[in-house]
Amino acid sequence: MTHIPVLIKEVIKYLDPKPNENFIDCTIGQGGHAKLILEKTLPEGKVLGIDADSRQIENSKLQLENFKERIILVNDSYSNLKDIIEKANFEPINGILLDLGMSSEQLEESKRGFSFQKDEMLDMRYYDKNQNELTAEKIINEWKQADIEEILKEYGEERFSRQIANKIVEERKIKEIKSTLQLVEVIKKAVPVKFQFGRIHCATRVFQALRIAVNDELNNLTKVLPQIISVLSPGGRIAIISFHSLEDRIVKNFFKEKDKDKVIKILTKKSITADFEELRENHRSRSAKLRAVIKIT
């Protein structure tokens, strides 16, 4: 399956890559954004590409075969950004991209249970198994009802979090919930009938909440933001693409605070979203929001 990188025109506009500049792609995925950045930074510009998912590192290696002299790939979490940069001895840094979305490959082919439309094990780890023992299955079958309700409410902004958590605990007493489709059936039993067939699938927010909890996504984002500012060269640019309101709020508030301190200047007065043409071609871009800043000091 071909992965279409979201907001590609907007990323290039705000990062503004020039010949011989160096960039970091904190979530390189299948290398879509990185490829265009490498083309714009010929002949000497480099890209440091990071991804917590080792399969994505392999994917981007294939996609960026023609640029192998100018690409450094690291299988790690972007939350360890400073350490990664030090080990790679990567400087100066003229721009940083952080795309917080999932790739088509992760959803459709990883077999890790990210999609509620396929029958797969409830795993949801981006990381290799030895890096993270927590899985969605563990949360669903072992966590207390109150804790499940809390993550569904906080990370999924799920209006039926109490009913769903209650139904999960009821059902797991009868039989362990091990697969994605099993979980979808439990969710359907918990929500009112009219919400089972809405514009947004009734399992969407539950799956989102579980994925965020398993991969500690919001903490990782909070951890990396100060690192991004500190490693960037003055005049360097940052573009961050988020896919739900929790991430976007964290990014927006962090940028506001740093803008007030005159460390950065905000380039996007409000978040940038996909245009009509992109929405038509790539439905995954519908929830993407881009914010960009430039470092002053």
pLDDT at position 85 is: 98
Least confident of 11-25, 79-93, 129-143, 252-266: 129-143
**Residue 88 contacts residue 81 (beta carbons within 8 Å):** no
Strand partners, 95: 23, 237
Q: Over pLDDT 90: what percentage of the chain?
A: 80
pLDDT at 284 over 80: no
pLDDT at 68 over 50: yes
pLDDT at position 104 is: 58
pLDDT at position 41 is: 98
pLDDT at position 207 is: 96
Tell me the mean pLDDT in the region 154-163. Answer: 96
More confident residue, 286 or 121: 121
Q: What is the pLDDT of residues 21-58, one digit of tens each?
A: 999 999 999 999 999 999 999 999 999 999 998 889 99
pLDDT at position 129 is: 58
Which pLDDT band holds residue 224 (cuts at 50, 70, 90)?
A: very high
pLDDT at position 112 is: 86
* CATH H-level, domain 110-215: superfamily: Putative methyltransferase TM0872, insert domain (1.10.150.170)
Buried b (16+ CB within 10 A) or exposed e, 26-65: bbbbbbbbbbbbbebbeeebbbbbbbbbebbbebbeebbe
Which pLDDT band holds residue 102 (cuts at 50, 70, 90)?
A: confident
3-state secondary structure the chain: CCCCCCCHHHHHHHHCCCCCCCEEECCCCCCHHHHHHHHHCCCCCCEEEEECCHHHHHHHHHHCHHHHHHEEEEECCHHHHHHHHHHHCCCCCCEEEEECCCCHHHHHHCCCCCCCCCCCECCCCCCCHHHCCCCHHHHHHHCCHHHHHHHHHHCCCCCCHHHHHHHHHHHHHHCCCCEHHHHHHHHHHHCCHHHCCCCCCCCHHHHHHHHHHHHCHHHHHHHHHHHHHHHCCCCCEEEEEECCHHHHHHHHHHHHHHHHCCCEEECCCCCECCCHHHHHHCHHHHHCEEEEEEECC
Q: What is the pLDDT of residues 162-220, one digit of tens each?
A: 999 999 999 999 999 999 999 999 999 999 998 887 778 999 999 999 999 999 999 99
Alpha carbons 90 and 85: distance in angstroms, whole number? 5
Choose the CATH number for 8-106+219-295 among 3.30.230.70, 3.40.50.970, 3.40.50.150, 2.60.15.10: 3.40.50.150
Residue 139's alpha-carbon distances to 18, 53, 111, 132, 210, in angstroms, are: 46, 21, 18, 13, 8
Tell me the mean pLDDT in the region 248-276. Answer: 97
CA angle, residues 214, 216, 218, in degrees to nearest 5? 135
Residue ranges covered by each domain of the chain: 8-106+219-295, 110-215
Which pLDDT band holds residue 101 (cuts at 50, 70, 90)?
A: confident
Tell me the mean pLDDT in the region 125-138. Answer: 81
For tokens 């906080």, what's the residue? 154
pLDDT at position 215 is: 92
pLDDT at position 1 is: 45
